Amino acid sequence: MNELLKILSSPQLFEVLNFLKDHSNKNPSSIAKELGFHTFTVQRYLEILEKFGIVSSKVERKIGRPSKKYRYCGGKVTIDFDEILKVFELKSKKIRERESKARYNYDLKKETINGVVKNGKIIKLSDVEGRVLFLVPPIDSTGILISKIVEKLNFPEFDILFAINNLVLMDIVEVVK
């Protein structure tokens, strides 16, 4: 949800949607070229919008690399502000590791955790999740204030809080009572 909230303020997003509404079955590079945007920006918008069913895609295989073509579906997205406020309430809380049996794939130079092996399942972490988890103390500690994590990392507070919420939902970290 936080990805969608971040892009909704972009006028470029609505130009992409409006273009796609009138021109179905276009790939990100042709949309970007037509609108004068960077291909990566258009691709990112479309990936997020596809998660929420606003656009759909199909892969076309011709000579050369396959091409993902998008079309506008429209629809509604419901934003649960109570859920978002719960995430922001985390800022005043402490967290720590949830269980000590999980194994981590560390990158000590980057001070991050790339993934977690938990109950035999590999969980790949985003950059923000990995940096947050690197700072989280073990289960036998009193925890760390989330506001301290926000101070230490060079990511937007919004992204850090949603990453922590994801780690809690994955049962990797716990909020200390």
- Residue range 56-83, pLDDT digits in tens: 999 988 787 888 999 999 989 888 899 8
Answer whether residue 169 is part of any domain.
yes
**What are the b/e assignments for 11-31, b being 16+ CB within 10 Å?**
ebbebbbebbeeeeebbbebb
Rounded to whole angstroms, the Cα distance separating 172 from 119 reads 11
Decide: 7 and 13 in contact? Cβ < 8 Å: yes
Q: Determine the average pLDDT of the residues in 6-34.
A: 92
When the pLDDT of each residue in the chain is averaged and rounded to a whole number, the result is 92
Q: Which of 42, 72, 102 corresponds to the end of one domain?
A: 72
The verdict on residue 156 lying in a domain is: yes
Beta bridge partners of 104: 116
Residue 101 lies in a domain: yes
Q: Are residues 29 and 67 in the same domain?
A: yes
- Residue 84, domain member (yes or no): no
85 part of a folded domain: no
Task: Identify the sign of the CA torsion 37, 42, 44, 48.
Answer: positive
- Residues 4-21: what's their mean pLDDT? 90
What pLDDT, on a 0 to 100 scale, did the predictor assign at position 102?
Answer: 85
pLDDT digits (tens, 9 = 90+) for 106-162: 999 999 999 999 888 999 999 999 999 999 999 999 999 999 999 999 998 989 999
Q: What is the pLDDT of residue 79?
A: 86
Provide the whole-model pTM: 0.72
User: Could you tell me which residues are beta bridge partners of residue 145?
Assistant: 94
Whether 88 is in a domain gets the answer no
CATH number reported for the structural domain that contains residue 64 in this entry: 1.10.10.10
User: Is 58 inside any structural domain?
Assistant: yes
Same domain, 165 and 110: yes
- Rounded-to-integer distance, Cα 96 and Cα 176, Å: 7
Are 57 and 139 contacting, i.e. CB atoms less than 8 angstroms apart? no
Q: Are residues 99 and 163 in the same domain?
A: yes
CB atoms within 10 A of CB 96: 17
**Residues 135 and 167 reside in one and the same domain:** yes
103 and 161 in a single domain? The answer is yes
* Domain co-membership, 62 together with 106: no
Handedness of CA 36, 39, 45, 51 (dihedral sign): positive
- Tally of domains within the chain: 2
Give me the mean pLDDT over the 26-32 stretch: 95
**Shared domain check, 14 and 52:** yes
For residues 108 and 141, membership in a common domain is answered with yes
By residue range, what is the domain housing residue 16?
Answer: 2-72
Token digits for 47?
């990936």
136 shares a domain with 167 = yes
Asked whether residue 68 falls in the same domain as residue 97, the answer is no
Nearest to 36 by CA among 14, 12, 6: 12
**Is the pLDDT assigned to residue 42 strictly greater than 80?**
yes
85 close to 53: Cβ distance less than 8 angstroms: no
- Beta-ladder partners of 176: 94
154, 112: one domain: yes
- Do the domain assignments include residue 145? yes
Cβ contact 67:27 at 8 Å? yes
